[in-house]
Amino acid sequence: MFDAEKFIEKTIDTLQTEIKGRALIAFSGGVDSTCSAVLANKAIGDRLIAVHVDTGYMRKNESINVKKMMEELSLNHRFIDASQEFYNALKDVKDPEKKRKIIGGNFIRIFERVAEKEGIEYLIQGTIAPDWIESGNHLRDTIKSHHNVGGLPENMKLKLVEPLREIYKDEVRKVARVLGLKISERQPFPGPGLAIRIIGEATPERTDVVREACYIVENEIEHAVDKGLMEKPWQYFAVLLPVRTVGVHGDKRAYGNIIAVRAVQSIDAMTCAYSDIPQEVLDGISTKITNTLGNKINRIVYDITNKPPSTVEWE
Amino acid sequence: MVRIYVIDNGGQWTHREWRTLRDLDVDTKIVPNTTDFQELYSEEIDGLVLSGGAPRIGLTNRLGKCGEYLEKADFPILGICAGHQFMARFFGGEVKPSKIPEFGKIELTLLREDEEIFEGVTKKSIVWESHNDEVIVLPKKFLLLAESENCKIQAMRHKGKPLYGLQFHPEVEHTAYGEQIFKNFANLCKK
């Protein structure tokens, strides 16, 4: 069985031997990168710098909270607002694999800039097993290029360190609990962020729409879980489909986009079953989204596919 | 400690097979399917799992050195998905693209009682699938152990040797008795 305490001990040891100079950790504020950061901090202390990049595709208030968290964890940190850079890079890009690769590449270029300025040689990432499995290689088919593996540019200068590479999310959570991290139960959020929750071009305007919809889905489901109405899903969010359908608003024709609600149960994301959301909760989500985003959205659908045949995120 | 290696045929769930075995305190390792049999043999393994993978066994008949392992092994082998299909073909069965490929949740029905590999598994249970091809003719020396509505050969075993094939995926969380099946296989390897 997986032993979190032994894992922590061994990993700190390995990081101490592996990292000779200064290292930066790509810090999103999720369970994987936070765990990696805390382990690395224990291993190399002051030689570690946590870098959070606001890609412009973060959830509501996310980057502000991450900044707070880096302070609470007493990490040496840098906060970089690169929204415009990401929006520009994704202009006119519709293909999901292209989006993922551009985002992966952009992250690395930003980290390289920080590294050069601060004399850093190592890049620590919170990569976990499904990231490299699904990114594929000579033997395995590429399901999707995870930005931190399949999205890495070939000519990367930084030396990569991935302390969680062989473990899965449920095991990372065990490590996070032993480390006493308050984010141990936080739902996964993909590195490419909201950009892959918009089918087609991820414009800033569409990002605002899906950001609000994700916020509503998260709130409604979390309230329902707190009230004991349903089991907490593994992941729960909204996807914006830039397809237009007809509706009626105050006796007038409406012609807006669609929001798909996605919620799944899993322990490791390698297989998933769609969540059983009670009717009244679905009702609340539907009404809140269409009332808040009325001029943009007039239809809400619920995704009822398992993995396989689908995947968790739509792109 | 029983030692069971996982032969990597490039499946999405190869690493899950390794993890399930590790969670059962089995001494395990993932090895490429290009490894020589002699090298495996010299490590004194007690059993082998042939993982699934993207190769279409219904269309071609290649799966690294899996044929060599099936020919020479005197220890138990568990073939999963593509590994199972390859095993069937290797012993003279037939594999074709599925008329109705299965993905995700399926109900499995066991067809024989008192099979060690299915000890503790109910007659009907939920398993997770992901296949484009399937075994349509069982090899002569094999027994049929389980079926589903759209795939009649879901599980098989050799009549004389400890060789087992499963079309479904016991290694994923959503297969109800998956871990139990691995436990049964590990017990078979201890013998």
| Per-residue pLDDT tens over the stretch A94-142 | 999 999 999 999 999 999 999 999 999 999 999 999 999 988 888 888 9
CA distance A271 to chain B (A): 7
Catalytic residue numbers of B read: 81, 169, 171
pLDDT score of A152: 82
pLDDT score of A153: 79
Task: Look at A140 and B172 and tell me if their CB atoms are within 8 Å.
Answer: no
CATH architecture assigned to A4-178: 3-Layer(aba) Sandwich (3.40)
Q: Which residues of chain A have pLDDT under 50?
A: none
- B99-143 pLDDT, tens digit per residue, is 999 999 999 999 999 999 999 999 999 999 999 999 999 999 999
Q: Tell me which chain B residues have a C-beta less than 8 angstroms from the C-beta of A141.
A: 10, 12, 54
- Find the DSSP H helices in chain A: 4-18, 31-44, 62-72, 83-89, 96-118, 129-135, 169-178, 204-226, 279-292
Nearest Cβ partner for A308 among B25, B103, B173: B103
Domain ranges of chain B: 3-190
CA distance B140 to chain A (A): 32
Q: Tell me which chain B residues have a C-beta less than 8 angstroms from the C-beta of A271.
A: 104, 128, 172-174
CB neighbours of residue A66 within 10 Å = 24
Q: What is the CA radius of gyration of chain B?
A: 15
| Short-list A300, A286, A205, A309, CA closest to A257 | A300
Task: Look at B103 and A129 and tell me if their CB atoms are within 8 Å.
Answer: no
As a whole number of angstroms, the distance between CA A41 and CA A25 comes to 10
**What CATH number is given for B3-190 in this structure?**
3.40.50.880
pLDDT score of A148: 84
As a whole number of angstroms, the distance between CA A201 and CA B122 comes to 49
What DSSP assignment string belongs to B16-49? Answer: HHHHHHHHTT-EEEEEETTS-HHHHHHTT-SEEE
Q: Tell me which chain B residues have a C-beta less than 8 angstroms from the C-beta of A309.
A: 103-104, 130
Does the domain formed by A198-302 have CATH 3.30.300.10? yes
pLDDT score of A150: 79
pLDDT score of B60: 86
Q: Nearest residue on chain B to A308, judged by CA atoms?
A: B104
Domain ranges of chain A: 4-178, 198-302
pLDDT score of A149: 87
Query: Is A304 an interface residue toward B (CB < 8 Å)?
Result: no
Task: Look at A140 and B10 and tell me if their CB atoms are within 8 Å.
Answer: yes
List residues of chain B with CB under 8 Å from any CB of chain A. 8-16, 19, 22-23, 25, 32, 53-54, 103-105, 128-130, 172-174
Q: Which residues of chain B have pLDDT under 70?
A: none
pLDDT score of B85: 97
B43 neighbors B21 (Cβ within 8 angstroms): no
pLDDT score of B29: 95
Angle at B42 between CA B37 and CA B47, to 5 degrees: 65
**Could you tell me the two tokens for B63?**
């799966």
Query: Is A67 an interface residue toward B (CB < 8 Å)?
Result: no
- Could you check whether A4-178 and A198-302 share the same CATH topology? no
